[in-house]
Amino acid sequence: MDKRQSLIWMAVLIVLALLGLLIAGLISEKSAQAPAPVVSSGTPQVGGPFTLTDEKGATVSDADFRGKYMLIYFGFTFCPDVCPTELQVMTGAVDALGADADKVQPLFITVDPARDTADVMATYVPQFSPRLKGLTGSDAQIAAVAKEFHVFYEKAPDDSSSADYSMDHSSIVYLMGPDGKFLTFFPPGTTPDAMAAKIKGFMG
């Protein structure tokens, strides 16, 4: 495991730890339903409002997707393998939902806005699914949304390819509810069928 991989794993572990705290927080809130005041301060939140630009160049915000589940993945179009794999899993899961597929909006948010312009996204996302939307933005907009989702990303030198640089980034698929709130996450290695089954479970 090289230094980059360790960094990514560290970031993944931190996210998992935060999610653990979040889940523990939710469980403790549920079990303490009585008259006791709900103490939730300090519980890490996953997700939040964002304003970005879609692959058509239009400004979009999280509020535009209210009423739909959002399936969100952060990555970059130059990514040789991890991102394409996860985007295939995500879009495969949505397709596997059949009649319920329209209730889910898959979103790919770039962590490399310098190269992933709306035009680049417009040629990239349809390779996976006509349902997939590709979101980019200013450095500040991307930094803000990544922070809300506890996504780690960092430029890394890339001598092995013609690209100037690569991006190290955490690789987690997030499921947000129709109210925009965090529901669950899927680690790398989740199959499309398993992802679809879990999403279906939330639809009740």
Provide the binding-site residues for Ni ion, judged by CB under 5 A: 75, 79, 82-83
Spatial separation of the C-alpha atoms in residues 8 and 135, rounded to whole Å = 22
The smaller minimum CB distance to Ni ion, of residues 75 and 137, is found at 75
Spatial separation of the C-alpha atoms in residues 28 and 25, rounded to whole Å = 5
Report the relative pairing of strands 133-135 and 104-110 from DSSP bridges: parallel
Q: Closest approach of Cβ 111 to Ni ion, in Å?
A: 8
Q: Closest approach of Cβ 154 to Ni ion, in Å?
A: 12
C-beta atoms surrounding 25 within 10 Å: 17
The smaller minimum CB distance to Ni ion, of residues 16 and 82, is found at 82
42 φψ region: left (φ > 0), alpha (ψ -120 to 50), beta (else)? left
The smaller minimum CB distance to Ni ion, of residues 83 and 173, is found at 83
Contact 86, 189 (CB under 8 A): no
Q: Which two tokens stand for residue 59?
A: 């400004």
The residue number with the shortest CB distance to Ni ion is 79
Q: Closest approach of Cβ 129 to Ni ion, in Å?
A: 17
The smaller minimum CB distance to Ni ion, of residues 77 and 97, is found at 77
- Which segments within 47-117 are labelled E, that is strand? 51-53, 59-61, 69-75, 104-110
Q: Closest approach of Cβ 150 to Ni ion, in Å?
A: 17
Q: Closest approach of Cβ 146 to Ni ion, in Å?
A: 13
The smaller minimum CB distance to Ni ion, of residues 82 and 156, is found at 82
